[in-house]
Amino acid sequence: MLQEGQQAKAAGRDIVIGYLEPHNRPETAALAEGMEVVPPLEVPLGDLTLKEMDLGAVLERRPRLALVDELAHTNAPGMTHEKRWQDIDDILDAGIDVISTVNIQHLESLNDTVAEMTGVRVRETFPDNVLERADEVVLVDLSPEALLERLETGKIYPKEHVKVALRNFFRLENLAALREISLSALAADVGLRRQTEVLDPLSQQAVAERLLVLVTPEPRSQRVLRRAWRSGQQYRAEVDALWVRNPRRELSDEETMALAAMRRLASILGVHFYEEEGEDFVEVVRRVTHERGATYVFVGTPTDSRLRELMHGSILSRLVRGLPGIDVRIVADRALREE
């Protein structure tokens, strides 16, 4: 990001650093030398003083290009927006170009994949559509061995934090997995951009698919939604999420919280969330599938007991029979596999 900024400055472009997190790295500070910096805001939070981007000052300065570090960052309480990517949206809306930085593990749709491959659940994420709107995505690739060498020599974290980092997230196998995810995600992004450029609007409409995701008020349903969303990206398809509420059953507090989290995730991913009431689950799904023109239905691994299946029939069998001509796809629950 800083190298691009220096090149733009050398070419005579009006540029400022909207926010930079140098982490006390001398080589990072050296790359920023000579560029105008918008002073950060100092925000008191208990005994701490946090530094945040001064969004108002960046907008008032109105450069042609702003460099804004750490796109997935969560702002301190009381700031204009909760997330830095939302600040960047405001800067872009003002007609200012932005170059930002982000790590692959913060991409929302990859949250489950990263957790499964590394054993670490990343809590700070950003919506995939932020990446989709970018004019250009550049992968900064480094081998895991080279990255570990930088880490051990204090070029990423202060040396007193290195041992903890090496024992946790920054293990060799985790870095190798993240590199694999990065390369795969970039290849998918390139493929989607090329497909969009090659196909004219009428051709895109002709091959359009629509996905319907069946969710429940359980945390495990988030994985089903993310997996369906990524499939939707491959198909260039619209994605809908459906929760069928049984009118005879009240939600527990835990289920209410899980449902609210599901709605937030759907909003982040740009998924249309629908709530329908009905005692006949398959009939409601059949109706919504017809109304929305869905061509695929994604569902999580059922948790019905064997006795219930014997008495009432398998929910999957009933779905397949009730949705002729529709592909029904089951998203496996990795937690069940581990059990």
Q: Between these two residues, 264 and 236, which has the higher pLDDT value?
A: 264
Closest CA to 108 of 126, 93, 84, 96: 126
Helices (H), the chain: 2-10, 26-31, 55-61, 84-93, 111-118, 128-132, 144-152, 159-167, 172-198, 201-206, 221-235, 253-269, 281-292, 306-312, 315-322, 334-338
User: In terms of CATH, what superfamily is 200-338?
Assistant: HUPs (3.40.50.620)
pLDDT for res 117? 83
Residue-level pLDDT at 149: 87
Longest C-alpha distance within the chain, in Å?
75
Tens of pLDDT, residues 77-125: 999 999 999 999 999 999 999 999 999 999 998 999 888 888 888 989 9
Q: Range with the lowest mean pLDDT among 26-40, 148-162, 214-228?
A: 148-162
pLDDT interval class at 336 (50, 70, 90): very low
Exposed, middle or buried: residue 115 (CB in 10 Å: 0-12, 13-18, 19+)?
Answer: middle
Average pLDDT over residues 252-266: 94
CA angle 250, 336, 231 (to 5 degrees): 85
Q: What percent of the chain has pLDDT over 90?
A: 55
Question: What pLDDT is recorded for position 301?
Answer: 85
- Distance in angstroms (rounded) separating the CA atoms of residues 108 and 271: 13
Would you say residue 176 has pLDDT above 50? Answer: yes
* CA-wise closest residue to 328 among 313, 336, 318: 318
Domain spans in the chain, listed from the N-terminal domain onward: 2-196, 200-338
In contact, 43 and 52? CB cutoff 8 Å:
yes
Locus of tokens 């008191």: 44
pLDDT at 191: 62
pLDDT above 60 for 199: no
Whether 319 shows a pLDDT value over 80: the answer reads: yes
**pLDDT score of 200:** 47
The strand pairing partners of 98, in sequence order, are: 66
Helix 172-198 to helix 144-152 angle (10° resolution) is: 130
Paired with 37 in beta bridges are: 17
Q: Give yes or no for residue 299 having a pLDDT over 90.
A: yes
Rounded distance between C-alpha atoms, residue 329 and residue 297, angstroms: 6
Residue 152: what pLDDT?
Answer: 84
pLDDT average, residue stretch 285-312 = 77
pLDDT value at residue 332: 82
Neighbours of 58 (CB within 10 A): 24
Q: Specify the DSSP element, H or E, that contains 49.
A: strand 48-52
Fold assignment, 2-196: Rossmann fold (3.40.50)
> What letter represents residue 331's amino acid?
V
Please name the residues in contact with 92: beta carbons below 8 A apart, sequence gap of 6 or more: 98
pLDDT tier, 250 (very low <50, low <70, confident <90, very high otherwise) = very high
